[in-house]
Amino acid sequence: MINKNLQLIDNIQSKNLRNSLIKNSSKKFDKIFLEIKNDIKNTKKTLNVLDKNFKFNFKISDLKKFKKFKSIVIIGIGGSILGAEAIHNFFQSKIKKKIYFLNNLDESKILNLKKKENFSKTLFIIISKSGNTVETLSNVFALNILKKNSKNIIVISEKKKNFLFLLSRKLNLYHVEHKNNIGGRYSVLSEVGLIPAYLMGLNIFKLRSKLLTCLDKKNKIFIKNNTIKLANLMKSNKFNNLIFLNYFPELDNVLYWRQQLVAESLGKKNKGFLPMISKAPKDYHSLLQLYLDGPKDKIFDILSFEKKFKVKININKRLGVSFFLNKKKLSSVKEAQKRALIKIFTKRNIPFREFKIKKINEEILGELFSFFIIETIIVGKLLNINPFNQPAVEQVKVDTKKLLT
């Protein structure tokens, strides 16, 4: 349980944990929990991004001049853009502006953008923590958008000697400092996610209003049991696939954001979960056989939205046929499929958890972000893994640059 509008039901049975218990895990959790609460208050720590007194590196008054743009192109990669994509996906029915994401090296996207949009009337948000990200800079120059004194460009990067920051100063572009203590995958609730969210028309103060619900006294035991179980499963090296089984399409990009969070934070020391997004019920017809009858190396997080939508199955009487689904809502069909699967998971002792979302609003999404961040960090620390670095990735970046220079 987290709260009445965002529920997590744990169905990881003790049978799965038998041979992999972490010594003194309860005492270790209590120490980590206190450490996290202290880190949230420390402005030099990554987790300060969750603090209610977190200071923005931008002024709302400065952003108002950019609200006139009806088309926005966000350029970044990895943690610099996944958060904004998650926010956009979650509120897609509410956002009226045209939002484009350049999140990879994709020539067709660039060519389509040049055909579709008048760049002089389009806002470009360029995000790179280091200010030197190869893919981001490649896309910026491929679009050919940089001009001196441009009033339709926002640059977010660290405020130090890096390519984007120096270029922003040279061309007199609007620049926002990316806090250097906050890594990309933890930055969604900082300027990296908040500026795009504000310009999409969302309430960024509500997005941050309930970030620490999962640290409430009533939730501490719940978080403790969940993180210790996940850490034990990961320690066993038996359960190395974490499947996000998603029945709610508006969560797809939240889960792609979480995929990076889990993979980069925990994939170290020959340990880690391989996080995979699986779309339900679509994947029943391609992957379910493997899930149920393949290797028993998977943990499932099942995610769904509890609201009953109005779309119904209607069979015209003139067709002269009967069908057992007639007059059923599509959401009822999905719910029945989910319940049937949960029944089989339970019977076969397949470890799973169920997330139930009961409202779509900024507060709920903020709670989801913060819960996943805190849970991932605790699991890492229980296993003596540093959840804040990614040394192997950094080596690939260095070698790529050598090959291109």
**In terms of CATH, what superfamily is 60-207?**
Glucose-6-phosphate isomerase like protein; domain 1 (3.40.50.10490)
21, 36, 162 from 301: Cα distances, Å: 21, 24, 40
Residue 321 has pLDDT above 70, yes or no: no
Instruction: Report how far apart, in Å, the C-alpha atoms of 264 and of each of 25, 216, 257 are.
Output: 23, 27, 11
**Structural contact between residues 186 and 49, judged by C-beta atoms closer than 8 angstroms:** yes
Mean pLDDT across 138-164: 95
Tokens 């003194």 found at: 24
Confidence check: pLDDT of 217 > 90:
no
Q: Which residues contact 388 (CB under 8 A, 6 or more apart)?
A: 46, 183, 186, 265
Which pLDDT value is given to residue 19?
Answer: 56
* Average of per-residue pLDDT across 118-134: 96
Please check whether residue 367 is in contact with residue 3, taking contact to mean a CB–CB distance below 8 angstroms.
Answer: yes
Dihedral angle, C-alpha 272, 273, 275, 280, nearest 10 °: 180
Q: What's the pLDDT at 3?
A: 76
Q: What is the mean pLDDT of residues 79-99?
A: 97
pLDDT category, 245, cuts 50, 70, 90?
very high
Confidence of residue 23 (pLDDT cuts 50, 70, 90): confident
Distance CA 51, CA 190 (A): 11
DSSP string, 221-242: HHHHHHHHHHHHHHHTTS--EE
Mean pLDDT throughout 131-138? 96
In this structure, what are the phi and psi dihedrals at residue 158, rounded to the nearest 5 degrees?
Answer: -65, 150
3-state class (DSSP) for residue 267: coil
Q: Among residues 150, 116, 118, 131, which one has the least CA distance to residue 75?
A: 131
- Half-sphere exposure of residue 106: CA atoms within 13 angstroms, side-chain side: 13
Type of residue numbered 316: N
Evaluate if residue 290 carries a pLDDT over 90: yes
DSSP 8-state assignment for residue 273: -
The neighbour count for residue 215, using CB atoms within 10 Å, is 17
Q: Which residues contact 150 (CB under 8 A, 6 or more apart)?
A: 171, 173
**Amino acid, single-letter form, for residue 354:** E
- At residue 1, the pLDDT reads 57
Phi, psi of 232 (to 5 degrees): -65, -40
Per-chain mean pLDDT for the chain: 93
Rounded-to-integer distance, Cα 158 and Cα 155, Å? 10
User: Which amino acid, residue 263?
Assistant: A
CATH 3.40.50.10490 in the chain, residue ranges: 6-36+210-384, 60-207
| pLDDT at 17 exceeding the cut of 80 | no
CA 2/CA 370 separation, integer angstroms? 12
Which among 328, 300, 303 is positioned nearest to 314, based on CA atoms?
328
**Whole-angstrom distance between the N-terminal and C-terminal Cα of the chain?**
53
Asked if 244 and 353 touch (Cβ cutoff 8 Å), the reply is no
Answer whether residue 117 shows pLDDT above 70. Answer: yes
- Phi/psi for 185 (5° steps) reads -70, -10
Residue 197 CA to residue 95 CA, distance in Å, equals 10
Distance CA 12, CA 30 (A): 21
Single-letter amino acid, residue 131:
G
Q: How far, in Å, CA of 41 to CA of 211, rounded?
A: 13
* Domain with residues 6-36+210-384, CATH architecture: 3-Layer(aba) Sandwich (3.40)
- Predicted pLDDT at 79: 96
User: Mean pLDDT throughout 346-360?
Assistant: 94
Query: Considering only CA atoms, which of 349, 345, 333 is closest in space to residue 288?
Result: 345
User: pLDDT-based confidence at 18, cuts 50/70/90?
Assistant: low
Q: How far is CA 170 from CA 66, 147, 164, 178, in A?
A: 21, 10, 10, 18
3-state SS, residue 254: helix
